[in-house]
Amino acid sequence: MIKRKAIFFDRDGIVNYRIVGEYINREENFHFTPDFLEILPKIKKLGYLAILVSNQKGVGKGLMTSEELGKINDFMLQKLLELTGESFDDVFYCTDVSVENSFNLKPNPGMLLEAVEKWSIDIQNSWMVGDTDKDIIAGKRVGLKTVLIGLPEENNAEPDYTFPSLIEFYKVLI
């Protein structure tokens, strides 16, 4: 079977704006970043699978229900299609709260490994893109190329690349 290249995206802070100290539990709280809307159709055109890997601890903590998370997810996928003509190929959420007790909660690699297996992903030519240390560490544990979107001084996980925006990241793909 031919292996496929993929870009793994964190959600909050990458696909949509993060709201500090709040969980995204309603459509009104979910606002796409313009950069993600711009690059999604472009990376799909380059042949990458787009895969979401998102911690949603608010569910495990009882601050949000699985139904609310499901509704937000449906809204996100539908809106992406409407706005860009593309959507994620797959989405993985982890609602656990304890890194010690969950193989899936980033920085642990469970969600990423599951996707790699399911989609037969070419790890060496694939990327993990996120805005926090835990995204970078999870990506490194799997052997993906890692990209931090943000400021280098806010990060300790030594990503392979740091870019101020997704637009700059896209430029290294072409």
Q: Among 6, 9, 12, 23, indicate the residue that binds Mg ion (CB under 5 A).
A: 12
Among the residue ranges 27-35, 56-64, 81-89, 123-131, the one whose residues contact Mg ion (CB under 5 A): 123-131
Q: Which residue has the tokens 């969950």?
A: 102
Number of residues in contact with Mg ion, rule: CB under 5 A? 4
Q: How far is the CB of 99 from Mg ion (least distance, A)?
A: 15
What type of residue is 107?
P
Peptide bond connecting 159 to the previous residue in cis, omega within 30 degrees of 0: no
96 or 131: CB nearest Mg ion:
131
Structure tokens at 19: 């709201």
107 binds Mg ion (CB under 5 A): no
Q: Could you confirm whether 10 is annotated as catalytic?
A: yes
Q: Could you confirm whether 122 is annotated as catalytic?
A: no
Binding mask 129-158 for Mg ion (x = CB under 5 A): --x---------------------------
Binding mask 13-52 for Mg ion (x = CB under 5 A): x---------------------------------------
Q: Which of 35, 28, 76 is nearest to 54 (CA)?
A: 76
Residues forming the site for Mg ion (CB under 5 A): 10, 12-13, 131
> Catalytic site residues?
10, 12
